[in-house]
A and B are shown apart, each in its own frame.
Chain A
Amino acid sequence: MKRREFLRDSLLVSGGLTLGFSVVANEVRTSAAAAGITPIGDFLRITPAGDVLFQVVKHEGGQGVATALAQILCEELAADWSRVHVEFPMADMARWQNDRNGGHDTGGSCTITYQYDLLRKAGATAREMLVAAAAKQWGVPAATCRVENHAVVHAASARRSGFGELASLASQMPVPADVALKSDKQQTLIGQGKAAKIIPDITSGRLKYGIDTQVPGMMYALIARCPVFKGRLRRFDASKALAVKGVRKVFAMTPVAGHHEPPYMPHDIRDGVAVVADSFWAARKGRDALQIEWDEGEKARFSSEDFARLAADRARERKDPTGFIGDDNAVNDLTRVRKTLRASYIYPHQVHSCMEPLNCTAFVRKDDCEVWCGSQAPNLIVGELAKLLKLPPEQIRVHLLPSGGGFGRRYYPDFAVEAAFISREAGNVPVKMMWTREDDQTVNLAHHYQHMEYQTAIDGANKLFAWYEKEIRTYTWGSHYAGPELPQMAYDIPNIRYDFEELNDEELVQSCAWRGVVSHGRSLSECFVDEIAAELKRDPLEFRLSLLTRGRDAVVSEGGRISSDRMTRVLALAAEKAGWGGELAAGRGRGICLSPYGNTCVAAIAEVTVKDGALRIDRVTVAVDCGRLINPSGAANQIEGGIVWSLTGLLYGGLPIRNGRAVNRTFAENKLLRMNECPKIDVHFVGGDAERPWGIGEVSTPVGAPAVLNAIFSATGKRLRTLPIEGQSLTS
């Protein structure tokens, strides 16, 4: 690994007034006024009093990364955890580069995996510099000193110096080339279920999210966006809007709509009209008073049912395989097939419903631009604003803020582009551009639509010998999805074929990443596996275990491989904890979903009761193998939350569209699971001596739905193959 050059001078203190949020001071304050605070390397600042300020350069949207990453670094530092705090610095693309290590990009359940080695080394490096500083002050060899509980000690002379006293000198010490790291057994902070560091600020209301930004002279803006995807603004009359007290300006957003071309990270900005006012309330009233004529365009002719039909037609067509193992036509081998099974499963569009509606505050000045928002990819914001504003990237400054939910939606820079455009157009004033909840539900990006077409072949010996899977999907990352070329297939089946076809041009709403991204639809294969087990009259658990061949690696996303042994272990743990095989009263059922995701694997078992056609989800047991656990409490919270997410999508999800317009506008129609509907969720980690940590943020979002669908079958004999359940009958 390349040795990183640790910067001695703080780049966090730049010329001019910048506002940095610090948990230590518990108020918004200027970084420039932070006298005496010493940076050591890129991730650490130490106050004169000795408080350790961990720099959170990744996005904190509830995954607990701020805390877990701090634990990793502070492990090597022997810091007193109670004196460790987390800070969100300004984005700095030069300092923290997206090179699989230190950058700001946050997504894919990759954060811990990418930063584990880097932060351990950063902590150890800072340790050595603090030790060197103490040794120099005391005139003793560094090898005779060590860190202990937030200080450096020299045992022989019983001397002790705290981190605060040493920080300034430490930052001037030479950066060591090699540092010793603690062994796994020596770790005392990693593996501990510490409460998240941001909790006191959350429970007191002090934590500032993007939407809480307050800048002197700030205006508020709302945008009336075309209700139909790819529709155009024809004309508008702002006279009534401008007559509303507090409304200052009204103008078209058309110049920025469609400004940003995919091929990568598409983020459609709809045509619309912006209203700028001196308060949110005035902006809202102003927007309501706009009179707009849209050219709704082609997509206004279509509804969800039309799209579903189109996808189903495409799914039935057999074209060339995208990838295969063995014989690509084995499912049709009439010399061998005794029984064919077919099924279509649909995982539809879903809305993110981040609790913090999208927003961005932007201040475009003559030569620079400042932006405040929660963003999973500030580099994309910088890139897009540099193009829009024709400014050098270094002059686009992004304040990193925690968000009320990223979930993949906050990866896209569109809301920052909207805000910057408005700031400039309104006369170079600071503007907080906000989305209402109705905007969020009706004109937003959404989880892509996935139609999964399955076919399988069973031979005379009752062996499952061929698997065919065709996925029809709308946009995800690029205009043409490059991979993977095989199904997300845990099981040892000799002939596997995967076909993929995109439906990007026909989509009725812009698609984007939604937590587990493609895994939600692809995990419905676990329902089809259940159908095969039922056909063969085999126990769903026993059948799956029989297909996990010992010693075999299974292909999961994009070349990632997970051993069957790990999957067997996680499945067996879930079964044990859920009491699989135990007696089930009438109307009760159990269902399994096994999901390898990246390098993590998850098995979920749902227990349900169906009575008088009504479903109650009683319990979901989840077993997780995510390698080395950094924070078991935070990790369990993620798994629990992912199950709730999965169940919301199953019970209430979807995005019905009529004549190009989204039908559901509020939480009354787009329901989220509530506390009284939440089942008991039991999470078990496999434990053991894994060396490396793997991801956790998205790994349970695909598993709740298939497990419950399988449990419904177990309880009723009824097989449901599309989401949401709401509106479908549970009686045979």
Chain B
Amino acid sequence: MKYQLTVNGTRHAVDVDADMPLLWVIRDFVGLTGTKFGCGLGLCGACTVHLDGIAIRSCSVPVSAAAGKALTTIEGLSPDGQHPLQRAWEEGDVPQCGYCQAGQIMQAASLLREKPKPTDAEIDDAMAGNLCRCGTYQRIHRAIRKASE
């Protein structure tokens, strides 16, 4: 089935099954690989993108649900890599392997839009769905705190 998707402000036409999760449309059909596959079940957060500004797990949302909405991926979070979170990630030397970090940043960006000055507990709660196997949680937390200042 044919779908029109707006991703990072650009219109894309794709011809895929209605049940194909957004994750695979974004990665394999639109060709943006910054959004990652970690589990396909919404349990790890690596696939997090924004749908009309709200964080969603793209592995668990079918393409049909995104028709007519604005999708933002990590590539579109900022024009120049200078979103406060991206800067804080660099200043705090946050990532190790980096595979989960796009999802972490997209989730954090959604949090900060909703709660510009989150408490420690609010950060923990908002980020609890994003796994990091390398264990950089302490640094992620600190960077979100920094970006919110």
Contact = CB atoms under 8 A, between A and B. Distances in A.
A185 interface: no
Contacts of A676: 124-125, 127-128
Interface in A197-215: 198-200, 202-209, 211-212, 214
B interface, over-half SS:
loop
Interface string A273-309: 0000001110000000000000000000000000000
Interface in A674-716: 674-676, 678, 680-681
A681 B138 contact: yes
Contacts of A60: 97
B44 A200 contact: no
A74 interface: no
A195 B94 CA distance: 8
A680 B138 contact: yes
Nearest to B33: A212
Contacts of A195: 90-91, 93
A542 B46 CA distance: 45
Given A355-B38, A643-B135, A675-B137, A207 B98 contact: yes
B33 A203 contact: no
Contacts of B13: none
**Which of A196, A205, A437, A673 has the most chain B CB atoms inside 10 A of its CB?**
A205
A211 B95 contact: no
B133 A667 contact: no
B134 A437 contact: no
A203 B127 contact: no
Interface in B68-116: 73-75, 81, 85-86, 89-91, 93-102, 105
Nearest to B135: A644
A186 B125 CA distance: 46
Contact of A405 (B93, B124, B134): B134
B139 interface: yes
Interface centre among B35, B73, B131, by most chain A C-beta atoms within 10 angstroms, is B131
Contact of B37 (A357, A634, A672): A357
Contacts of A205: 32-35, 73-75, 102
B2 to A, nearest CB: 14
A62 B40 contact: no
Contact of B97 (A193, A403, A640, A681): A403
Interface in A616-660: 633-634, 637-638, 640-645
Nearest to B96: A62
Interface string A522-553: 00000000000000000000000000000000
A668 B128 CA distance: 13
Given A61-B97, A403-B97, A675-B127, A436 B40 contact: yes
B28 A637 contact: no
A642 B133 CA distance: 10
A436 B24 CA distance: 13
A27 B124 CA distance: 34
B58 interface: no
A200 B40 contact: no
B93 A245 contact: no
Given A205-B33, A357-B37, A405 B97 contact: yes
A281 B99 contact: no
A404 B17 contact: no
Give the size range of B's interface with the partner: 35 or more
Interface residues of A, number: 62
A281 B138 CA distance: 35
Interface string A218-239: 0010000000000000000000
B19 to A, nearest CB: 8
A440 to B, nearest CB: 9
B17 to A, nearest CB: 7
A634 B16 CA distance: 43
B20 interface: yes
Contacts of B136: 637, 640-641
Nearest to B106: A205
A303 to B, nearest CB: 25
Contacts of B93: 193-196, 199, 633-634, 637
Contacts of B75: 204-206
A380 B39 CA distance: 28
B67 interface: no
Interface in B1-40: 16-17, 20-21, 24, 27-29, 31-40
B40 A437 contact: yes
A680 B41 CA distance: 29
B94 A402 contact: no
Nearest to B98: A202
A165 interface: no
A356 interface: yes
16 contacts: A62-B98, A64-B96, A196-B93, A196-B95, A200-B86, A203-B74, A203-B81, A203-B101, A204-B81, A355-B97, A357-B37, A357-B38, A405-B134, A645-B133, A668-B43, A675-B132
- Kindly list the 7 A-B residue pairs having the minimum CB-CB distance in the complex, ordered from nearest: A205-B34, A644-B135, A404-B99, A62-B97, A62-B96, A641-B135, A202-B98
